[in-house]
């Protein structure tokens, strides 16, 4: 009997039913193999960690995750225990008896899946022999200087050895299904298939190796996919052996998957195999019991950011914080791939528009990207100290004022406001005011950069001249460290910071998926993405009018860089023109899309891939219906009922709006949400764009 899930797939209101039958998980063992199991390196860690709960709900005790052993990670994230399955215990024993250490336990995350961790260091004495095996098997040579590739070979060889021992012990039942993520674990898949080990295999590439390298060189990648000499490009970048591992794993797998449609196109050209299934990345969505609760969190966390701004811009705080919007970009410091180049250029144009239209809105833009620093900027620390001193002074005077007022009222007197504060009180306040005087501009960066002359962000800030001057309506704060609640500057976790901002901007050129705009969506924060990111393509496919739901999609594929900059500028300028009420309504709509990104829905694509792999590896045991839904089928959220049909009606033509002017606009969040649930379109297949017609983000097909 299949294990019952803790939450039905049909519980997401409005989403179509999933008709595929459950796999007989009692007669199967599922292994998820990834370099980032218990080992946080990048985005794949988030995928594995967040997907664990829904996978455990489906597979129960028959799910095992496999990754490399690192002592610190094991001691802090894993509860060691004995394997419940005798065959797994015996397979581990075979490796341990030969000097290769293997560890077993429960990963202390939501779902608590079992993990099997392989100590590559204990098997290093086999490296030369295993290099020879790989060369004899598939003609791939591993250079001695590439430590990461050598570690991946050690890991893959141990995994293949483990699967050989396991399948020999299990025999014909239960069958084994192994899902490999990324090229670092590709050697294990290649060796399993070359040794004819009886197991079903899936390989997922979250981003092609070569694609990431080529895009970093400012190349028009997606419009020239068919023109690259792949072998030459890999050789020139000295990653040919890694590319060979990745490509061989792709072609050896029973089922090949990618995380987005745009990556599927890329993989077809780079790796010469069309993905069988697209498996989008999801998140664990925790819905609030009250609709307004996430709005309250936005208000609370925005207050914390405003406190930082008061300190950072002391002496130049001549703008109204209640009319200040917070934009941000976050992620790995990849200047071109993450779209920081066009973002900065667009900010320069936005600053010009806001000044020309004499708009009283100020935009503070945060760049949260880790770079090489040696310490906090002294001027930034001083700003927070000045703010705190002002706060303490104000409270001291307030306490004195309150006490004297209280005593006067007790006597039945109305105090003279000119005498209730003495000369010393005024002296203290004047000294506090003089302390806020500043003869320099507020710093652009919060830290001392090790090489600020060649830093791409700072170099472009100098080029566009956004130095946080009084006349600038766009201010820049570059925070070259990930956020932490223990920071003396901005004591907030990333989630708190995102909830306090108004707009996330991620105009990436190379982004196979894009967790950052997805995280904004589930927190009810509008975001900017592109049609070259997996997230942007996913939203275009599933939402009729993404802009109405706070998902602004910049066209970076069919437009020039200058046109993309103009489009991004218009998106941001239009956002600045919205009233407070309009922003609240938009956040409600954005948060409503979070169901689309829930693993309870997106996990079904992984189920489809597993069924397909089993039907190909064990055709006598597992059959798959030929009419099973392909990866391009989905559904679409309709245009919100309260949005006028013409964009000119929904966006004001004047450059400024008060927060009160739209108070009479009729809007019922619950009614609109219910209308959306009823009007979600039936599943459809995404067709090709007719020749001569290119649909751009924001255009509705209706």
The CA-atom distances, in angstroms, between 484 and each of 38, 298, 330, 333, 491 are 21, 18, 14, 18, 6
pLDDT exceeds cutoff 80 at 689: no
Give the mean model confidence (pLDDT) for residues 48-66.
94
- 664-680, pLDDT tens digit by residue? 455 666 666 666 655 55
Q: pLDDT tens across 380-424, in order?
A: 988 888 888 888 888 888 888 888 888 888 888 887 777 787 788
State the Cα–Cα distance between residues 477 and 467, nearest whole angstrom. 10
Is the Cβ–Cβ distance between 54 and 12 less than 8 Å? no
- Phi and psi based region of residue 598 (left: phi greater than 0; alpha: psi -120 to 50; beta: remaining): beta
pLDDT in tens, 444-496: 999 999 988 999 999 999 999 999 999 999 999 999 998 999 999 999 999 99
pLDDT at residue number 667 = 60
Rounded Cα distance, 544 and 549, in Å: 10
Mean pLDDT of the chain: 86
Per the CB < 8 A criterion, the answer to whether 628 and 604 are in contact is no
Q: pLDDT per residue over 583-632, tens digit each?
A: 999 999 999 898 899 998 899 999 999 999 999 999 998 887 654 554 44
642 pLDDT higher than 70: no
Q: Compute the average pLDDT of residues 25-45.
A: 92
Q: What is the pLDDT of residue 651?
A: 44
Q: What pLDDT is recorded for position 218?
A: 75
pLDDT of 539 above 50: yes
310-319: average pLDDT: 91
Q: Do 680 and 15 touch, CB atoms closer than 8 A?
A: yes
| Side-chain-facing half-sphere of 96: CA atoms under 13 Å | 12
Instruction: Name the residue with higher pLDDT: 64 or 545.
Output: 64
Helix (H) or strand (E) holding 505: strand 503-505
Higher-scoring residue by pLDDT: 408, 112: 112
Find, among 625, 635, 681, the residue nearest to 20 by Cα: 625
Is the pLDDT at 695 greater than 60? The verdict is: no
Q: What angle do CA 192, 195, 196 make, to 5 degrees?
A: 85
- Gap between the Cα atoms of 108 and 49, Å rounded: 10
Could you identify the residue written with the tokens 């005087």?
437
pLDDT at 643: 62
pLDDT confidence of residue 13: 43
* Helices and strands in the chain: count of H runs, count of E runs: 23, 19
Q: How far apart are CA 239 and CA 211, in angstroms?
A: 12
Q: State residue 673's pLDDT score.
A: 64
List Cα–Cα distances, 545 to 113, 495, 588, 698, 701, in angstroms.
39, 26, 15, 6, 9
CA angle 18, 21, 23 (to 5 degrees): 125
């Amino acid at each position: 009997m299949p294990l019952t899930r803790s939450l039905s797939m049909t519980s997401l209101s409005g989403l179509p039913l999933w008709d595929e039958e459950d796999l007989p998980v009692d007669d199967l063992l599922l292994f998820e193999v990834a370099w980032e199991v218990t080992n946080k390196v990048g985005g794949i860690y988030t995928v594995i960690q967040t997907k664990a709960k829904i996978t455990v709900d489906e597979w129960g005790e028959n799910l095992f995750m496999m990754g490399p052993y690192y002592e610190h990670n094991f001691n802090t994230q894993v509860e060691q225990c004995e394997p419940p399955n005798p065959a797994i215990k015996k397979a581990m024993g075979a490796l341990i008896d030969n000097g290769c250490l293997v560890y077993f336990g429960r990963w202390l995350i939501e779902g608590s899946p079992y993990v099997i961790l392989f100590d590559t260091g204990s098997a290093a004495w086999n490296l030369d022999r295993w290099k020879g095996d790989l060369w004899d098997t598939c003609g791939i040579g591993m250079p001695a200087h590439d430590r990461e590739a050598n570690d991946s070979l050690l890991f893959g060889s141990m995994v293949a050895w483990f699967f050989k021992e396991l399948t020999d012990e299990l025999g014909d039942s239960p069958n084994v299904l192994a899902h490999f993520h990324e090229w670092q674990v590709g050697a294990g898949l290649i060796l399993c298939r070359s040794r004819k080990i009886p197991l079903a295999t899936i390989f997922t590439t979250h981003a092609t190796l070569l694609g990431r390298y080529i895009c970093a060189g400012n190349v028009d990648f997606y419009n020239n996919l068919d023109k690259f000499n792949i072998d030459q490009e890999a050789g020139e970048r000295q990653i040919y052996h890694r590319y060979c591992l990745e490509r061989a794993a792709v072609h050896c797998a029973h089922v090949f998957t990618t995380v987005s449609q745009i990556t599927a196109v890329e993989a077809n050209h780079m790796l010469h195999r069309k993905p069988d299934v697209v498996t989008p990345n999801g998140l664990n969505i925790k819905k609030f019991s009250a609709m307004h609760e996430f709005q309250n969190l936005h208000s609370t966390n925005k207050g914390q950011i405003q406190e930082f701004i008061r300190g950072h811009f002391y002496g130049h705080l001549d703008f109204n914080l209640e009319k200040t919007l917070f934009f941000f970009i976050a992620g790995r410091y990849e200047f071109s791939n993450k779209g920081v180049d066009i973002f900065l250029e667009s900010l320069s144009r936005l600053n010009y528009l806001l000044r020309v239209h004499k708009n009283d809105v100020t935009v503070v833009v945060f760049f949260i990207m880790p770079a090489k620093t040696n310490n906090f900027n002294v001027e930034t620390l001083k700003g927070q100290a000045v703010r705190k001193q002002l706060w303490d002074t104000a409270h001291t005077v307030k306490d004195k004022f309150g006490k004297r007022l209280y005593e006067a009222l007790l006597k039945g007197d109305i105090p003279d406001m000119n005498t209730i504060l003495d000369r010393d009180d005024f002296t203290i306040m004047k000294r506090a005011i003089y302390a806020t005087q500043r003869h320099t501009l507020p710093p652009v960066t919060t830290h001392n950069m090790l090489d600020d002359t060649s830093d791409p962000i700072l170099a472009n800030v100098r080029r566009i001249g956004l130095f946080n001057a009084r006349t600038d309506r766009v201010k820049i704060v570059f925070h070259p460290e990930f956020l932490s609640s223990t920071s003396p500057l901005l004591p907030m976790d990333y989630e708190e910071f995102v909830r306090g901002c108004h707009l996330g901007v991620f105009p990436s050129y190379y982004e196979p998926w894009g967790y950052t705009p997805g995280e904004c969506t589930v927190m009810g924060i509008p975001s900017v993405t592109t049609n070259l990111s997996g997230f942007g393509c996913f939203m275009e496919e599933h939402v009729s009018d993404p802009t109405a739901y706070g998902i602004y999609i910049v066209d970076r594929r069919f437009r020039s860089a200058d046109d993309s900059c103009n489009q991004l500028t218009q998106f941001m300028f239009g956002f600045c023109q919205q009233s407070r009420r309009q922003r609240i309504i938009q956040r409600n709509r954005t948060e409503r899309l979070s169901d689309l990104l829930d693993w309870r829905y997106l996990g079904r694509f992984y189920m489809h891939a597993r069924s397909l792999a089993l039907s190909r590896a064990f055709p006598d045991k597992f059959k798959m219906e030929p009419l099973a839904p392909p990866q391009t089928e989905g559904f679409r959220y309709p245009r919100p009922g309260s949005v006028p049909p013409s964009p000119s009606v929904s966006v004001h033509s004047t450059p400024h709006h008060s927060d009160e002017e739209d108070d009479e606009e009729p809007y019922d969040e619950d009614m609109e949400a219910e209308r959306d649930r009823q009007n979600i379109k039936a599943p459809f297949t995404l067709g090709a764009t007719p020749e001569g017609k290119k649909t751009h983000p924001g255009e509705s097909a209706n």
